[in-house]
Structure 1
């Protein structure tokens, strides 16, 4: 009788997955359709998506997961996040389109519900496609760089993978969601501002990322190298 080896268990993997999905849902449901502006010294008026300060955290989770647990386990987390986004989009569609109760309060409240959760199909599709493509690109680049660098220079692969992943994510989302809706000048301004900020944010947060990575490698007794990994993004099994 053949036996299948037990899969290794981890203390913090499930917790990181839950935190990742939470950040992903919040950053995609609160703010992505709003273009905000700030007047900054030297730079002047800067236009950016209102989710700008929070969505990059999901890429930090992706870096940590790939560096410690490997591409396969990060892939599972990405698909868990994708499923959560799909359910949130479906639930928002149902809630928005259910007939409101026939009273003055609900008639006014329905307008607020539509304003907050009535995102167009383009925003929903843009969020989901860009998230998946950008996350897989980020994880793939980091995993390949780790093997090539033999585990050295964590800062280079964290920032390098972010440069690629955020370029894919930001350009896909804004193009799918807002091309032909926002003026081209505003779209490009938001794209450039968001991409630069997200990449800079990853660099600023690198000391935190490095400490979390070091902690998890010690506690989990894991430092995974993706040698011989099947990088097919459509698989769920590790």
Structure 2
């Protein structure tokens, strides 16, 4: 039976998607502690601006946003061929694995460091390796909690919007359901993270939360539009891999038809 299961193409596809989905989410969380300048990334001068009374704003983003858009692309692809139940299943697995990873980080940070290791990188400008390790892997609990809540809620929103659009458009307008669901869910994700981590956790003003939310979301909105061709490319490759008949049956089952 196991050999038959491993030869089944839809099963292979789901295992691949689920593995990438979980790994991508975990990596995005791990690298999320680094901030970078979007303007400097493209060699542009940094121009600050004011929004909702908050001055000095610029496109300073967490490195996690480099990977999170792919998570929403994968959500739409899994939703298309396997349905909302599959999306929820891999989302729960991803949250479980992220929670486990941060628990493992906490354990690693807590165990006593060996003496020689502490100064082993001092010639490279790192006087204390334990401080560096904690600085990289340690994140505020509010940020971790906010990120996980935002991830789960935005996934549910993405699934819901995706299927409502598809019920009205059928197989037409792939770009509308894929991009539309991502655009809405990314807005929810951006707001929840900032609200929990910084409004509740750090006492930010509503003006600051909304201003930074708009800045972050404007980036995510553009990326969601830019990645639309990737949806069509992946869809064509998947249907070639599965075969038109199998793909059609899977999409019908995903919609509960």
Normalised TM-score (structure 2): 0.77
* Matching of residue 149 in structure 1 with residue 169 in structure 2: yes
After superposition, give the CA deviation of every residue in 1:174-233 in whole Å (9 maximum; x if it has no partner): 22222263854654443212212112111111111112023213422224244459xxxx
After superposition, give the CA deviation of every residue in 1:119-141 in whole Å (9 maximum; x if it has no partner): 11111111111111111211221
**Higher mean C-alpha displacement, 36-45 vs 170-179:** 36-45
**1:166 counterpart (183, 186, 193):** 186
Cα distance in 2 for partners of 1:49, 1:119 equals 13
Distance change in 2, residues 1:38/1:75 (3 Å): closer
Q: Cα RMSD between the aligned structures?
A: 2.7
| Structure whose CA Rg is larger | 2
Q: Which residue matches 2:119?
A: 105
Cα distance in 1 for partners of 2:135, 2:165 equals 43
* Matching of residue 128 in structure 1 with residue 141 in structure 2: no
Relative contact order (alpha carbons < 8 A, sep ≥ 6): 1 or 2 greater?
Answer: 1
Work out whether residues 28 and 55 of structure 1, in 8 Å CA contact, stay in contact via their aligned partners in 2. no
Distance change in 2, residues 1:9/1:50 (3 Å): closer
Higher helix proportion, which one?
Answer: 2
Structure 2: 5+ residue stretches without partners = 49-57, 121-126
Q: Which residue matches 2:241?
A: 219
Work out whether residues 137 and 164 of structure 1, in 8 Å CA contact, stay in contact via their aligned partners in 2. yes
Q: Which residue matches 1:74?
A: 87
Work out whether residues 183 and 224 of structure 2, in 8 Å CA contact, stay in contact via their aligned partners in 1. no
